[in-house]
Amino acid sequence: MIGQVIVANTLPILGLLLVNITQPQITPTATLNTPKVSSFTPKQEIVWRVEDNETLSGIAHNYYGNLNYWPVLLSDNPWIKNPDNLISGWKLKLRPLPLILNDDELKKEKVISQAPKLITATQTPFVNPQPTKAKTAPTPSSNYDDVYKEAGTKFGVPWQVLYGLHLTETGLREGTIYNGQGTGARGPMQFMPGTFNTYAVDGDGDGVPNIDNAKDAIYTAANFMAKHGSVYNGLVSYGGNINGTLNAARSRGLQM
């Protein structure tokens, strides 16, 4: 049997010599003033790039969640001369979310947006490309082109917009047409009865404005649009498919 061999190394015992070493005196240096860091941070600018066929109300709906906030966009971008004509490539300044305005604040924004503006060199779009014709799908012909043109001429409304409204509201149909969603709107131009009575025009000359008569409804729509001051305001108040209406109108030659 082999035994376990343990080899121990013998180390010399080292004594510790304590030496009192005098440390040099350190003179405190003057306290340095730490520069203050400014809490200011540049405000981030939110920008919306306009695409083909976009409208202010559509942008307000998509960003702010409320199409009635379109005057905010107009007041924040005072270089826009015609709110009915947004050009693809423009960049609009937006306010941070959430944005909640009461009725009085919204009225104030409308006043600001409608006030005369002095356009300066600094109030120009970031990008101002030349207008290009929007690509639109072919749209059906209508038997009421003469009526659109007559009503448009009488009330100063582009006849193509009346065509677009008729197309998007009922597919150019005529007669008694009730809204499938049960809102109460009816007729070729889908008026609420109360609204129709307010703006009613006897288009066919029989002495009785009829909500279900295509000619009366088209003339009434022209009167409605004219009373709202501009194509844009009229379409917003009409409450239909704004982009669809404008696309259809452009397909018939509207330049805006």
The CATH code belonging to domain 46-114 is 3.10.350
pLDDT in tens, the chain (256 residues): 433 333 344 444 434 444 444 444 544 444 444 333 333 334 456 888 888 778 888 888 888 888 788 888 888 888 887 777 788 788 888 888 777 777 777 777 666 555 444 333 333 444 444 444 444 455 677 889 999 999 999 999 999 999 999 998 889 999 999 876 677 889 999 999 999 999 999 999 999 999 999 999 999 999 999 999 888 888 888 987 888 898 889 999 988 7
Amino acid at 134: A
Structure tokens given for 60 = 């307000």
Domain boundaries, the chain: 46-114, 145-251
pTM: 0.51
Q: Are 199 and 220 in contact (CB under 8 A)?
A: yes
Give the C-alpha separation, 255 to 250, whole Å.
6
Query: Within its chain, how far is the Cα of 105 from the centroid?
Result: 18
For residue 209, what are the contacts with CB-CB under 8 A and spacing of at least 6?
196, 200, 201, 202, 203, 216, 220
